[in-house]
Amino acid sequence: AKDRFGLELQRLPMPEPLYLEEEERNLPASYANFYIGNKVVLLPVFEDPMDKAAVDIMSSHFPGREIVPIVARELVYGYGGIHCVTQQEPAERG
């Protein structure tokens, strides 16, 4: 499928839902919260049967980069992900 700009859309699988019982809420576990570096893609994985499919899909879309799976369960317990924790930090003016 393509979007309105003609860009190809790729579906990513979803891991099994992670649930935080103390707060009675689902956690934001998603393979889409990845980070693209110069030679790598840091891909969150969740010790889930769908992890391999996500790695394979990302490998096909980033052929020049190494796909580095990183277990991200602890990050989603804090309501974040790999892309979230790699956000830019502005430089000081001066």
H/E stretch holding 43:
strand 40-45
Cα–Cα distance, 11 to 50 (Å, whole number): 13
* Residues classed as catalytic: 84
> Can you give the pLDDT at residue 45?
98
Q: What is the pTM (predicted TM-score) of this model?
A: 0.83
Contact 32, 60 (CB under 8 A): no
- Helix, strand, or coil here: 89? coil
Domain chopping of the chain, boundaries: 30-85
pLDDT by residue (tens digit) across 46-84? 999 999 999 999 999 999 999 999 999 999 988 888 988
CA distances from 23 to 19, 72, 74, 89 (A): 9, 19, 16, 30
